[in-house]
Structure 1
Amino acid sequence: MKNHSFSVKQDIEFGVGIVEKLGEYIQRLHGTRVLLVSDPGLVKAGITGRVEKIIGAAGYPCVTFTDVEPDPGCWVVEKVVKIIVEEKVDCVVAVGGGSSMDTAKSAALVGYSGKRLQDFWGYYLPVEHDPIPVIAIPTTAGTGSEVTRNTVITDENKYKMVILNDKMLPQVALLDPELITTLPAGVAASTGMDALIHAVECYMSDLATPFSDSVAEKAMELIGPALPRFVANRADIDAASDMIMGSTLAGITLSLCLPNQAHALSHPLTGFYHVPHGLANAMLFPTTMEFNALADRGKYKKVYNLLRREHAYTENFETEMLIDYLVKLNEKLGLPKNLSEMGIGEEHLEEMIVDAQKTKIWEHCPRLTTPEDMRRLYLKTMYRGTPKEKEIK
Structure 2
Amino acid sequence: MSFQMYVPTKILFGEGQLENLHTQQLPGKKALVVISNGKSTKENGSLAATEEQLKKAGVETVLFDKIMANPLKSTVMEGAACAKENGCDFIVALGGGSVMDASKAIAAMATNDGDLWDYISGGTGKGSPLVNELLSIIAITTTAGTGSEVDQWGVISNEETNEKIGFGGYDSLFPKIAVVDPALMKSVPPKFTAYQGFDALFHSVECYISAAANLMGDMYALTAIENIGAYLPRAVQSGEDLEAREHVAFANTLSGVVMTVSACTSEHSMEHAMSAYHHELPHGAGLIMISKAYFTYFIEKHACDERFVRMAQALGKKDTKDPMDFIAALSELQEQCGVDGLKMSDYGIQPEEFMTLAQNARATMGGLFACDRAPLSDEDCAAIFKKAYC
TM-score, length-scaled by structure 1 = 0.91
- Residues 298-337 of structure 1: matches in 2 within 5 Å? 298-308=306-316, 313-314=318-319, 316-335=320-339, 336-337=341-342
Kindly indicate whether residue 197 of structure 2 is the aligned counterpart of residue 219 of structure 1. no
- Give the superposition deviation at 1:161: 2.2
AA partner of residue 188 (structure 1): T
Counterpart amino acid of residue 387 in structure 2: K
> How far, CA to CA, are the matches of 2:128 and 2:77 in structure 1?
20
In the alignment, is residue 191 of structure 1 matched against residue 196 of structure 2? yes
Which of 122, 130, 134 matches 1:131?
134
d(CA) in 1 for partners of 2:290 and 2:351?
15
Measured after TM superposition, the shift of residue 332 of structure 1 is 2.1
The CA distance in 2 between the partners of 1:15 and 1:349, in whole Å, is 42
CA positional deviation for 1:244: 0.7
Q: Distance in 1 between matches of 2:203 and 2:149?
A: 14
Counting only pairs closer than 5 Å after superposition, residues 160-239 of structure 1 correspond to structure 2 as 160-165=164-169, 166-239=171-244
Gaps of 5+ in 2: none
Following superposition, the deviation at residue 341 of structure 1 comes to 5.3
Q: Percent identity over the alignment? A: 28
CA shift for structure 1 position 297 = 4.3
CA contact (8 A) 1:331 1:337 kept: no
1:1-393 matches, cutoff 5 A: 1=1, 3-25=2-24, 28-39=25-36, 40-41=38-39, 42-122=41-121, 126-155=129-158, 156-165=160-169, 166-274=171-279, 275-293=281-299, 294-308=302-316, 313-314=318-319, 316-335=320-339, 336-340=341-345, 342-358=347-363, 359=365, 360-383=367-390
Pairwise CA distance, 1:257: 2.1
Q: Is the 8 A contact 2:229 2:333 kept in 1?
A: no
Cα offset for 1:60? 1.6
For residues 81 and 345 of structure 2, the distance between their equivalents in structure 1, rounded to whole angstroms, comes to: 41
CA distance in 2 between counterparts of 1:159 and 1:371 reads 17
Within 2, Cα distance between the matches of 1:202 and 1:337?
Answer: 24
Cα shift at 1:261: 2.8
Q: Deviations over 1:336-385 (max 9, x none)?
A: 244245553213223212101121110111211011101110001104xx
> 1:129 offset after TM fit, Å?
2.5
Report the TM-score when normalising by structure 2: 0.92
RMSD over aligned CA atoms reads 1.7
Unaligned residue ranges in structure 1 (runs of 5+): 384-393
Corresponding pairs, count: 376
Aligned-residue offset at 1:118: 1.4
Deviation sequence 1:201-255 (CA, Å, 0-9, x none): 0011111111111111111121110111110111111111101111010011112
Larger displacement relative to structure 2 (268-277 or 46-55)? 46-55
